[in-house]
């Protein structure tokens, strides 16, 4: 069965510090991968998605970047955090082709607080 | 651009009663998928139910069912025999169907509805 991991679960960082959040998926190959941010417990905003190694698409211009160095690894980074980067970050995966729904399966999330 | 609107920020229901959560969406596409996700206090997103736009029949999963009105672009979720474990934030989401055989499966989410279940 497929599982998705995220770490760390919780992170407190000072403004201006770098960031690296990691997401890995097990039990599937060539998944589509996604990073979302959820602010103040409300809706999810898609930040990045990837359909393959080294292929990253950004949905909104921001202070963050993403990378996919391996097939089942997705990393969210920042060189200098802003207060507005605080939030709950969710990683998700889906089957790229086939399957009627292509529903997304979510990781447990990382709560980031920037002080 | 596709948008999803959940007009009820909060809803409450008595245990064992029925509650309906509303969702409307805006799209110019004819083929798409709709989802309801549940986010309990643990914040893990859990898929509750899904619907294909080209299917007339409303989806049902145990106590969860949807009322899909394609012309009205409405996709409400009905929870029957509500249980304490149903308390969560519920998100409606939309995804365009595959285009050209490849889809990255982008989901557009509503803002969510917080459901409280009273014993």
pLDDT digits (tens, 9 = 90+) for B99-113: 544 446 778 899 999
For residue B91, list chain A residues with Cβ-Cβ distance below 8 A.
Answer: 43-44
Q: How confident is the model at residue B55 (pLDDT cuts 50, 70, 90)?
A: confident
**Is residue B16 scored above 50 in pLDDT?**
yes
Q: Which residue shows structure tokens 């950004």?
A: A58
Of chain B, the percentage scoring pLDDT greater than 90 comes to: 74
Q: Exposed (0-12), middle (13-18) or buried (19+): which is A79, by Cβ within 10 Å?
A: exposed
The structure tokens listed for A7 are 């770490």
For B6-112, where are the E strands, in sequence order? 10-14, 19-21, 24-26, 32-39, 46-52, 60-61, 64-69, 74-79, 88-96, 108-109
Flag if A88 and B43 touch (Cβ within 8 Å): yes
The region of weakest confidence among A8-12, A57-61, B2-6 is A57-61
Chain B interface with A: residues with Cβ < 8 Å: 33, 35, 42-47, 50, 52, 89, 91, 95, 98, 101-112
Rounded mean pLDDT of B24-40? 92
Indicate the helix (H) or strand (E) that contains A24.
strand A19-26
* Mean pLDDT of all residues in B45-67: 93
Of B33, B104, B109, the CB nearest to A44: B109
Looking at residues A10-24, what average pLDDT do you find? 97
The share of chain B scoring above pLDDT 70, in percent, equals: 93
pLDDT at site B60: 94
One DSSP character per residue, A28-54 reads -SS-EEEEEEE-TT--EEEEEEEEETT
Task: List residues bridging with B77 in a β-sheet.
Answer: B21, B66
Contact A104 B105 (CB under 8 A): yes
Residue with tokens 């939309």: B94
Q: How many CB pairs below 8 Å do chains A and B form together?
A: 66
Q: What confidence tens digit (pLDDT) does each residue in A69-114 have? A: 999 999 999 999 999 999 999 999 988 765 556 788 999 999 999 9
pLDDT at site B102: 46
Q: What is the pLDDT of residue B99?
A: 53
Average pLDDT over residues B58-66: 95
Which pLDDT tens digit goes with each residue over A23-45?
A: 999 998 889 899 999 987 678 98
Q: How many CA atoms lie within 13 A of A90 on its CB side?
A: 23
Averaged pLDDT score across all residues of chain B: 91
pLDDT at residue B96, rounded to an integer = 83
What is the number of other CB atoms lying within 10 angstroms of the CB of residue A25?
21
From A51, which residue of chain B is nearest by alpha-carbon distance? B104
DSSP states along B99-119: BTTB-----EE---EEEEEE-
B65 Cα to chain A: minimum distance (Å): 17
């Amino acid at each position: 069965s497929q599982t998705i991991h995220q770490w760390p679960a919780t992170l407190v960082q000072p403004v201006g510090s770098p960031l690296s959040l990691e997401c890995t998926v097990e039990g599937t190959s060539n998944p589509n991968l996604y990073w979302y941010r959820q602010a103040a417990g409300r809706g999810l905003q898609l930040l990045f998605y990837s359909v393959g190694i080294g292929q990253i698409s950004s949905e909104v211009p921001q202070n963050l970047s993403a990378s996919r160095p391996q097939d089942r690894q997705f990393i969210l980074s920042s060189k200098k955090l802003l207060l507005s980067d605080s939030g709950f970050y969710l990683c998700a995966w889906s089957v790229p082709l086939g399957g009627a729904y292509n529903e997304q399966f979510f990781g447990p999330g990382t709560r980031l607080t920037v002080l | 651009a596709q948008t999803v609107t959940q007009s009820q920020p909060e809803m409450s229901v008595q245990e064992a009663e029925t509650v309906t959560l509303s969702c409307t969406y805006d799209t110019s596409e004819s083929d798409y998928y709709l989802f309801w996700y549940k986010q309990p206090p643990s914040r893990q997103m859990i898929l509750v139910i899904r619907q294909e736009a080209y299917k007339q029949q409303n989806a049902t999963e145990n106590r969860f069912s949807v009322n899909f009105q394609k012309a009205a672009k409405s996709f409400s979720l009905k929870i029957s025999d509500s249980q304490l474990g149903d308390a969560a934030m519920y998100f409606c989401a939309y995804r365009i169907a595959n285009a050209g055989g490849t889809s990255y499966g982008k989901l557009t989410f509503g803002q969510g509805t917080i459901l409280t279940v009273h014993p």
